[in-house]
Amino acid sequence: MTSQWAGSRGVAPETSRLLIERAHEEIIAGNLTDSRLLDVRELVRESWRRSLASAVGAEDLPPLEFTPDAIEEYRREHPLAGARDMIRALLIPGEAATSGVVVAVGDSAGRLLWVEGDHAIQNLTSDMGFVAGANWSEAAVGTSAPGTALALGRSVQIQGAEHFNRFVQPWSCTAAPVRDPETREILGVIDVTGGVEAVTPQAQLLVDATARAVESELLVARLRSRAEPRTSRPAPSRAASRASRASLRVLGNERAYLCVEGDATSVLTPLGARHSEILLMLVVHRQGLSAERLTELVYGEGASIDTLRPEMVRLRKVLAKIAPFIELESRPYRLKPAIESDAHHVLSLLDRGAHRVALAAYSGDALAGSVASGVEEFRNTVRTALREALIAEASAEVLLEYADTDAGRDDLEVLQLALELLPPRSPKRSLLVTRIERLAAEQQT
């Protein structure tokens, strides 16, 4: 490891991991008065109680609350967007890829906006959902440095087994809130995650100092802006302020659902089989498709474009009714603005190394009942990308989760790889060996 995180080995808190683990089991079981809870720091104990009161599961993945397009737009407008370079320079001054820690910046609701740092650690922490767009508030994932720092309004260190979520317990983290320099309202949170290096007293001082430096920079920028001559800007239109977003949901469904989101609403509309196939093809081919090519992808080779045209007229009427902000252009056919699908969201998570989250988001094949050639090709692309990513990078636990899905249930290679990765004394080995032997025998007959 390099940079200021190397060499620091102080460990906080002093309570042994075993005592904390036992106390954690009692709080999860609802035994709130068990004496073993007194072995845990009061800060952590009270956070566990809040987590339990919020019905947080001890193995729940944090919810993803942004599509890739939505998070880009939100980040551009967030008050901490201009401070990202400063945060990076202060917390990862050396080579980010080998810094030994991961640095995250979240908003006031606990949703992570940027996650960067050591590549090896990022690949591991992404499996527990520590990725941009995930909600790490206490109400969503339980005790963690980002969520608990926001809940208490001050810097917090959470080590290993003190985390409420079992998936997070291999890691330690320090986080501090960032406040508006004038109103003192919380704008967001800065977090450092890694091994014991991330929870030393020096780490807390550094993260605190970074938060204060960001607040000072925000104030300087604000004062400088007030001193400059003002120029008039046109007020946004009411239509723009209520601009809606749309996405297509195709995973695990026979037909697609168009999800239209407004300022405070979300409406799902089921689509007909043909409209589902057409819209999915237009989402996949964002650059547009000729009438001939779209006809071939949906109806098959040799089909007449005269079959397609009446459906496009009907689809325009459907969109005008449920999503009037979406324009269906022709020559070539394409959607404006382009929209995303839940299948593309899974592919995006795989690209970011968030294998466990991608697997949780993969609820089944895209338009499973469709025999349109374009849909079948895309369906296989998503399934193959998921499988190959898991085989190449995922842990034994993630592979076993995949093996419990329809896509991976009969995948002998996945099961054998999971067996290789399991610890020698894992209680799961014997059942897995039996399952592999049975599946191998079935495939031979």
pLDDT digits (tens, 9 = 90+) for 378-430: 999 999 999 998 888 778 888 888 888 888 888 999 999 989 998 888 888 89
Q: Cα separation of 286 and 8, whole Å?
A: 49
Pairwise CA distance, residues 155 & 208, whole Å: 7
The single-letter code of the amino acid at 295 is: T
Tell me the one-letter amino acid at 390: L
**What per-residue confidence (pLDDT) applies to 265?**
63
Which CB contacts under 8 angstroms, 24+ apart, belong to 419-427?
A: 421/395, 421/396, 422/396, 426/396
64: left (phi over 0), alpha (psi -120 to 50) or beta: beta
Q: Residue 192's pLDDT is what? A: 96
How many CB atoms are closer than 10 A to CB 113?
Answer: 20
Q: How far is Cα 299 from Cα 278, in angstroms, rounded to an integer?
A: 10
Rounded-to-integer distance, Cα 120 and Cα 143, Å:
24
The amino acid occupying position 187 is L
**CB-facing half-sphere around the CA of 257: CA atoms within 13 A:** 13
Structure tokens at 272: 């007909």
Rg (CA), the chain: 25
Q: Which residues contact 14 (CB under 8 A, 6 or more apart)?
A: none
Domain ranges, ordered by start, for the chain: 3-223, 242-340, 395-445
d(CA 78, CA 443): 54
Q: Which segments of the chain have a pLDDT < 50?
A: 1-2, 7-15, 230-243
Is residue 256 within 8 Å of 248, Cβ to Cβ? Answer: yes
CB 99 within 8 A of CB 2: yes
Q: Kindly give the pairing relationship between strand 101-107 and strand 266-270.
A: unpaired
HEC per residue, 320-369: HHHCCCCEEECCCEEEECCCEEHHHHHHHHHHCCCHHHHHHHCCCCECCC
Please write the tens of the pLDDT for every residue from 229-274.
Answer: 544 444 444 443 344 688 899 998 899 999 887 655 678 899 999 9
| CATH code assigned to 3-223 | 3.30.450.40
Angle CA 414–58–428, to nearest 5 = 35
What CATH number should be reported for the domain whose range is 242-340? Answer: 1.10.10.10
Cα–Cα distance, 430 to 165 (Å, whole number): 27
What per-residue confidence (pLDDT) applies to 15? 46
